[in-house]
Amino acid sequence: MRRDYLTIVAGMSLLSGVITGVIIYAGGLFAAPRVVAATAPAPTLPPPEVITVLAPTATAAPVPTPAPTAGPVLRARLSHYWPAWGEPSCIGINWVNGECTSTLTDGRIREHWSYFAEWGMACPARFALGTKFKIEGFGTGVWSCVDRGGAINVLPDGTFFLDLMSREQPYIPPGEADTVYDSYSPHGSLVVVVEIMD
């Protein structure tokens, strides 16, 4: 009986081994290995922060503001004219029946020349009509540009003519003004410091 028992145990062991083998085979344990494509792992950290380092910049030293300087000194050669005397004080085409009919303007109004008598003057073109000059000692002391003239220019020495519309030759006591004699003023011209009012 012992032999039968061993035969039964051996048979059951064998049957159990066969069943286990069939299960393993069916489960793919002995199947050929499969090739799986490699994949990159999904990122788990945020991208690194980019930090830009700039070169140091030089800071400019503050520039001191210069102190205001005096404006240029304006030096005028004074002369005079009176249109009622005719040419050259009055343009020929405006001399009618012994009278000067010229009209002048200070840029605001146009009037007969006599309206500007004793406060109007002929100025170089660099000064706009209506420019007012302070000229101490003559009339009210303030004269306005209302006329031009062929010889009323700025000269190489920096002086310029101001031709006052006045009967009287401008006069300043000796020592209070310079007198210049040259090709522009062969008979002499008083040179005075003037100031632009507006």
* pLDDT score, position 65: 61
**What is the rounded CA–CA span in Å between residue 172 and residue 165?**
17
Q: Is the pTM of this model over 0.75?
A: no
Over its C-alpha atoms, the chain yields an Rg (Å, rounded) of 56
Q: Which residue type is seen at 144? A: S
Which two three-digit tokens encode residue 118? 């004793």
Taking the CA atoms of residue 123, residue 127, residue 128 and residue 133 in that order, the dihedral angle to the nearest 10 degrees is -70
Count of residues making up the chain: 198
pLDDT tens-place string over residues 153-188: 889 998 999 999 999 887 777 677 788 899 988 888
pLDDT tens-place string over residues 120-156: 999 999 999 999 999 887 777 899 999 987 778 889 9
DSSP codes joined into one string, 58-83: PPPPPPPPPPP-PPPPEEEEEEEE-G
Q: Which residues pair with 143 in a beta bridge?
A: 133
Q: Is the pLDDT of residue 38 over 90?
A: no
